[in-house]
Amino acid sequence: DVKVTQSSRYLVKRTGEKVFLECVQDMDHENMFWYRQDPGLGLRLIYFSYDVKMKEKGDIPEGYSVSREKKERFSLILESASTNQTSMYLCASSLWWDEQYFGPGTRLTVT
Amino acid sequence: AQTVTQSQPEMSVQEAETVTLSCTYDTSENNYYLFWYKQPPSRQMILVIRQEAYKQQNATENRFSVNFQKAAKSFSLKISDSQLGDTAMYFCAFRSTGANSKLTFGKGITLSVRP
């Protein structure tokens, strides 16, 4: 079974802090994705990566950056966390452009 | 740009009954993929079913089936013999066939199955 893990289920950070969310997949998938999920808005794509060191902006990249130094790991970085970044963050991976497999999510609260 | 619309935010169904979740989408493409994902409470999102636009036959997976109406750009999910474990958020999603294409999700619908 494909496994996608995220470093934390719950995270509380202060405004202005630098925040790292880590995602690891164990199936050698080329593609990895970061979404945020908000009530009434569904899932919105922040960034995705289709290869090591490659990244593409999604629909809402502002305030975020990403890093993919190894194929299995995709990090989401909030350079200076703000309260409007309080959300559920979901990581996903896929083999080419097939079915996406999701991690359990990280619920981030910025106070 | 493609859009995916799920107009019903919530639905409720009695256990063992059948329920249909609606989804419409907008695209100018002829070939694409459609998906239904399920997100149970506090659990990971999983794929329920997928449909390839060039296939006329509606996809089925056990109790889950779709009604794909390409001309109407409609992609509804039917859940037969509803079970308590079907309680979840359901997301409809669209993906074009182009290279590096992304999934576009609807806003989701919360389905509650009553005992």
Within 8 A of B47 by CB-CB distance, chain A residues are 99-100
Q: What Rg do the C-alpha atoms of chain B give, in angstroms?
A: 14
pLDDT digits (tens, 9 = 90+) for A62-79: 999 999 999 999 999 999
Give the nearest partner residue to A48 out of B6, B102, B107, using CB atoms: B102
pLDDT above 80 for B100 = no
pLDDT above 90 for B70 = yes
How many helices (H) and strands (E) in chain A? 0, 11
**Banded pLDDT at A2 (limits 50, 70, 90):** low
Distance from CA of B24 to the nearest CA of A (A): 15
pLDDT above 70 for A107 = yes
For residues A28 and A41, what is the distance between their CA atoms, to the nearest angstrom?
Answer: 30
Judged by CB atoms closer than 8 Å, whether chains meet at B103 and A42 is answered as no
CB distance A86 to A108 below 8 Å: yes
What pLDDT, on a 0 to 100 scale, did the predictor assign at position B99?
65
Q: B94 to chain A: nearest residue by CA? A: A99
Q: How far, in whole angstroms, is CA A91 from its chain's centroid?
A: 4
Distance from CA of B93 to the nearest CA of A (A): 10
What pLDDT, on a 0 to 100 scale, did the predictor assign at position B10?
95
pLDDT above 70 for A88 = yes
Q: How far, in whole angstroms, is CA A1 from its chain's centroid?
A: 21
pLDDT digits (tens, 9 = 90+) for B42-51: 889 999 999 9
For residues A49 and A54, what is the distance between their CA atoms, to the nearest angstrom?
Answer: 5
For residues A54 and A48, what is the distance between their CA atoms, to the nearest angstrom?
Answer: 9
What pLDDT, on a 0 to 100 scale, did the predictor assign at position A99?
83
What pLDDT, on a 0 to 100 scale, did the predictor assign at position B78?
98
Distance from CA of A52 to the nearest CA of B (A): 14
For residues A85 and A107, what is the distance between their CA atoms, to the nearest angstrom?
Answer: 10
pLDDT above 90 for A40 = no
pLDDT above 90 for B16 = yes
For residues A41 and B105, what is the distance between their CA atoms, to the nearest angstrom?
Answer: 9
Sole residue written with tokens 């182009």? B98
